[in-house]
Structure 1
Amino acid sequence: MTDLEAFLASASVDQAVFALRPEYRALLIGVSGLPRSASTGGGPIDAAADEVLLRAETVARELLAENPVEQLPHVAAWRDAYRQFGAKPQRTRNSLEALLRRAESGLPRVNPLTDIYNAISVLHQVPIGGEDLSAYVGPPRLGRATGSEPFDTMANGAVAVERPEPGEVIWCDDGGVTCRRWNWRQGRRTQLAPATTNALFILDALSPMTDEALTAAGDELIDRLRGLEPELSVAVRVLGAGNVRLPS
């Protein structure tokens, strides 16, 4: 077993989350050996990221020309899940909805690594988070907050530590919250940085997204990352109520 496989094998989803949404699946993709230019940009890497972003913007505009964003099937499912744990989706939008709402004026350009996974999120209609795997303290876990967990973030331009609401669905490790409200806002400590060479990507799926569609999203993300570094090391795991592993 590789280090990446061991890390993903230690990840878990609490049964309290499956009690909320029994059909939930998390596709975890761990990668190592990314070039530093993936997080800083430059030359062909920028061009590769921009190409997939432009395609995602086109697809999003076509989708939104036919339906309001909140009526897109996977967006609607996530809005319902947010309501189930007490969040207000019109105020704290899941990451997929937030990206789609920016598509008309243009998706954000952050760095090639972030831009690529944001584009895949829009193209496949699935929330995706990307984090610096090397910054983790212990394994990733998805559960419901007690309200005491620290969340390292920025507020009004300054470093701040916040606490989730009790019962809120959170990703965390032994160091605290890594992402609040399931897939709303990622923490500062584990965010992708210029020095990132090892990363964790989390793809969150609810019904009506099928296992096949989730796998396709993960496959395209891996293909795009291997376009940045052909020798990239990759490990894949799916966490579901039955802990069923999907083919990579």
Structure 2
Amino acid sequence: MQKIIIDQAFWDLFPDVKIAVMTAHNVDNKDQNVPNDLIQNANKIAKKWVPDDPISANPVVKAWRDAYRKFKTKKGARNAVENLLKRAKNNKGVGNINPVVDVYNSVSLEYAFPIAAEDLDKIVGDVHLTVAKGGEPFTPIGEDEIEEALPGEVIYRDDQDIISRCWAWRDSARVADTDETKNLLFYMENIQPERDDDHLAAAHQLEKRFHDYLNIDINDLTILTRDNPEFVFAK
């Protein structure tokens, strides 16, 4: 049995965060009926979240910037959703990658929440959202050089190494979803309690698009909170 576990050290920093988690199985990440303009439309919709300049003045971005000030981060680290929204705002939107990535990026852009998708079969042991002791290894997507977490940095890790640095900044190359990925673990964080309804709607939209475009039924959506901090993703 494998779980995603949100450690108390994280809740001590962020007691009101909610995290939607779910899995998708038997995915065909190649030839699927994903509309070519799904991402293009999502890039347009995303602009509604960042109408003001500078980008940090917009509530969804400001909330994440404020959160990142509460723990140690690598210089220049920004939450992944800020990077997506910035690209959309600057008319340099996200392009098509593969069916799975296009589907969850479209939801992330339209609802302004970060979504991570990890190859479930490559995860070693349990996944913890926790606070780093410092020195935990991490190999980011697209790079060969191994980095190390800073003491006090918020990270996702499994029993082998870090799978996401600076909370939701960069993902590990080791567990990244690829064209060959068959089984996925998703997690999507909300740090703004006033957006709980949006958060749940985004999670349901991800379910719907997996059904509509990838012919996959997701039936284990769970919202993790400090009172419900664990989710079994593999038995």
The question of 1:203 aligning with 2:188 is answered yes
Task: Tell me, yes or no, if the aligned pair for 2:155 and 2:167 is still in contact at 8 Å.
Answer: yes
- Alignment deviations for residues 53-90 of structure 1 (CA, whole Å, 9 cap, x no partner): 1221111234433454322222211111111103378x
Partner of residue 71, structure 1: 57
AA in 2 matched with 1:106:
G
Partner of residue 44, structure 1: 33
Kindly report which structure 2 residues correspond to 1:18-167, keeping only aligned pairs within 5 A, or say none.
18-37=11-30, 42=31, 44-45=33-34, 47=35, 50-66=36-52, 68-87=54-73, 91-103=76-88, 104-153=91-140, 158-167=143-152
AA in 1 matched with 2:132:
A
Q: Could you tell me how far 1:51 is from its partner in structure 2?
A: 3.0
The question of 1:230 aligning with 2:203 is answered no
Q: Could you tell me how far 1:131 is from its partner in structure 2?
A: 1.1
- Alignment deviations for residues 71-123 of structure 1 (CA, whole Å, 9 cap, x no partner): 2222211111111103378x111001000111122213221211221111111
- Alignment deviations for residues 181-231 of structure 1 (CA, whole Å, 9 cap, x no partner): 000000000000121010111101112443322111100011111123335
Secondary structure of the structure 2 residue equivalent to 1:22: coil
Q: Could you tell me how far 1:130 is from its partner in structure 2?
A: 1.0
Partner of residue 7, structure 2: 14
CA distance, structure 1, for counterparts of residue 208 and residue 22 of structure 2 = 12
Kindly report which structure 2 residues correspond to 1:187-198, keeping only aligned pairs within 5 A, or say none.
187-198=172-183
Task: Tell me, yes or no, if the aligned pair for 1:30 and 1:198 is still in contact at 8 Å.
Answer: yes
Q: Could you tell me how far 1:233 is from its partner in structure 2?
A: 4.7
* Uncovered stretches (5+) of structure 2, i.e. residues with no partner: 231-235
AA in 2 matched with 1:27:
A
Task: Tell me, yes or no, if the aligned pair for 1:33 and 1:233 is still in contact at 8 Å.
Answer: no
AA in 2 matched with 1:162:
E
Shift in alpha-carbon separation, 1:209–1:35, aligned structure 2, 3 A: farther
CA distance, structure 1, for counterparts of residue 140 and residue 111 of structure 2 = 28
CA distance, structure 2, for counterparts of residue 226 and residue 33 of structure 1 = 12
CA distance, structure 2, for counterparts of residue 98 and residue 29 of structure 1 = 23
Task: Tell me, yes or no, if the aligned pair for 1:170 and 1:179 is still in contact at 8 Å.
Answer: yes
Calculate the aligned-residue CA RMSD, in Å.
Answer: 2.2
AA in 2 matched with 1:44:
N
Q: Could you tell me how far 1:43 is from its partner in structure 2?
A: 6.3
Question: Number of residue pairs matched?
Answer: 228
Q: Could you tell me how far 1:145 is from its partner in structure 2?
A: 0.5
Task: Tell me, yes or no, if the aligned pair for 2:190 and 2:199 is still in contact at 8 Å.
Answer: yes
CA distance, structure 2, for counterparts of residue 220 and residue 158 of structure 1 = 32
AA in 1 matched with 2:212:
G
Q: Could you tell me how far 1:132 is from its partner in structure 2?
A: 0.7
Which deviates more, 170-179 or 143-152?
A: 143-152
Which structure: greater helix fraction? 1
Which deviates more, 184-193 or 73-82?
A: 73-82
Partner of residue 3, structure 1: none
Which deviates more, 158-167 or 225-234?
A: 225-234
CA distance, structure 2, for counterparts of residue 207 and residue 62 of structure 1 = 17
The question of 1:220 aligning with 2:205 is answered yes
Task: Tell me, yes or no, if the aligned pair for 1:126 and 1:204 is still in contact at 8 Å.
Answer: yes
CA distance, structure 2, for counterparts of residue 18 and residue 74 of structure 1 = 20
Secondary structure of the structure 2 residue equivalent to 1:44: coil
